[in-house]
């Protein structure tokens, strides 16, 4: 018999909707620019920036700031810790779905 | 979190992952349209070559082009050029329609990745085609290599584009590369058939697969 899921089992950093969306997009794309994520998820600059910073603080994503010509270019990438956290989160969701059946 | 909420979360994750990949804008219909155009081109090629009696496979050998009049050769090249540009045009048109349907910018990340992946292979194939077709004297073998070269280079582009997507385009790319390798070694004289099989039927099968899978849910 599997253990019941406790609220603590869900990573609070990823559990937030916008952050989950960012991590989900980065889970299938090796690297995405700030604008690409913004466009894909329909987030505002400020919103994306704030959530990306939270994910970076948690060690789940890396943010690289470079220049493309004269224009600043920000790209985001999922770290190993981020991949593991995302996989664990999805696994927990699967368990909850399975238990509810 | 209860069962229903977890299920909603999983669906959200699935939807976002789809949007972040090339799959979202892959238009099944353009593959079918392109495939049908190629089959029609192969049929017209056979009709153009049918008067040539020797060798016995002349009707399905692109090298039979050498036996046609200059006007017929030009018409043949123009026809295949139009099929190529028409196929690419259909791809762009349907991809834009698909992107709009999904609420994604038509010139967004996925479209750019597809463009960057396919372009080098297509440019090299075009350069080699011109090199094969415009020597001082046309040679049978060089004309016969055009179809397999296109298969391999197009397959490379599709495979590369598939690296940013789900597995299906990568498999299509590998199948094209394999078909090109086999045909350049063993079936180069049957170019019309191998072209119809690869650019025609493979595309139609892939288009049907994409349409079917999109209706069924997230592909793998």
> Residue A79 in contact with residue A59, Cβ under 8 Å?
yes
Give me the pLDDT at residue B220, please.
42
Give me the pLDDT at residue B22, please.
67
List chain B residues with pLDDT less than 50.
Answer: 218-220
- The size of the A-B interface in CB pairs under 8 A is 66
Say which of B10, B20, B21 has its CB closest to residue A97.
B10
CA-based nearest residue in chain B for residue A87: B13
Q: Does the reported pTM lie above 0.90?
A: no
Give me the pLDDT at residue A100, please.
73
Q: Given a cut of 90, is residue A16 above it in pLDDT?
A: yes
Query: To probe the interface with B, which of A24, A42, A83, A101 has the most B CB atoms within 10 Å?
Result: A24
CATH class of the domain at A10-94: mainly alpha
B68 lies in which domain range? 21-215
What tens digit of pLDDT does each residue of A43-65 get? Answer: 899 999 999 999 999 999 999 99
How many domains does one find in chain B? 1
What tens digit of pLDDT does each residue of A61-77 get? Answer: 999 998 878 888 899 99
B12 assigned to some structural domain: no
Give me the pLDDT at residue A81, please.
95
B10 assigned to some structural domain: no
Torsion of CA B43, B45, B47, B53, to 10 degrees: -130
Q: Given a cut of 80, is residue A3 above it in pLDDT?
A: no
- DSSP class of residue A72? E
Give me the pLDDT at residue B176, please.
97
What tens digit of pLDDT does each residue of B13-29 get? Answer: 988 887 777 666 677 88
Q: Do A96 and B2 touch (CB under 8 A)?
A: yes
Name the average pLDDT for chain A: 87
Percent of chain A scoring above 70 in pLDDT: 90
CA distances from B162 to B11, B86, B125, B148, B180 (A): 23, 22, 19, 21, 18
């Amino acid at each position: 018999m599997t253990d019941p899921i406790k609220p603590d089992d869900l990573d609070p950093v990823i559990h937030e909707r916008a952050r989950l969306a960012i991590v989900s997009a980065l889970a299938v794309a090796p690297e995405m620019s700030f604008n690409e994520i913004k466009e894909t998820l329909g987030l505002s600059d400020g919103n994306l920036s704030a959530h990306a910073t939270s994910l970076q603080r948690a060690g789940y994503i890396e943010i690289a700031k470079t220049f493309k010509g004269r224009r600043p270019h920000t790209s985001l990438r999922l770290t190993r810790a981020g991949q593991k956290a995302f996989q664990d989160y999805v696994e927990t969701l699967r368990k909850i779905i399975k238990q509810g059946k | 979190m209860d069962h229903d909420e977890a299920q909603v979360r999983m669906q959200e994750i699935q939807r976002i992952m789809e949007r972040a990949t090339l799959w979202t804008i892959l238009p099944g219909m353009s593959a079918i349209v392109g495939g049908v155009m190629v089959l029609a081109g192969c049929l017209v090629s056979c009709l153009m070559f049918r008067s040539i009696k020797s060798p016995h496979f002349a009707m399905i050998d692109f090298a039979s082009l050498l036996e046609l009049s200059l006007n017929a050769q030009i018409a043949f090249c123009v026809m295949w050029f139009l099929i190529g540009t028409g196929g690419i045009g259909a791809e762009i048109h349907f991809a834009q329609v698909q992107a709009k349907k999904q609420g994604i910018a038509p010139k967004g990340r996925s479209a750019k990745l597809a463009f960057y992946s396919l372009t080098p292979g297509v440019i090299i194939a075009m350069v080699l085609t011109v090199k094969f077709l415009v020597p001082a004297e046309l040679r049978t073998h060089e004309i016969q290599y055009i179809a397999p070269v296109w298969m391999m280079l197009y397959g490379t582009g599709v495979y590369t584009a598939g690296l940013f997507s789900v597995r299906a385009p990568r498999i299509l790319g590998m199948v094209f590369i394999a078909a090109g390798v086999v045909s350049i070694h063993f079936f180069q004289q049957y170019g019309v058939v191998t072209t119809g099989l690869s650019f025609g039927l493979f595309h139609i099968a892939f288009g049907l697969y994409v349409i079917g899978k999109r209706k069924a849910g997230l592909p793998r």
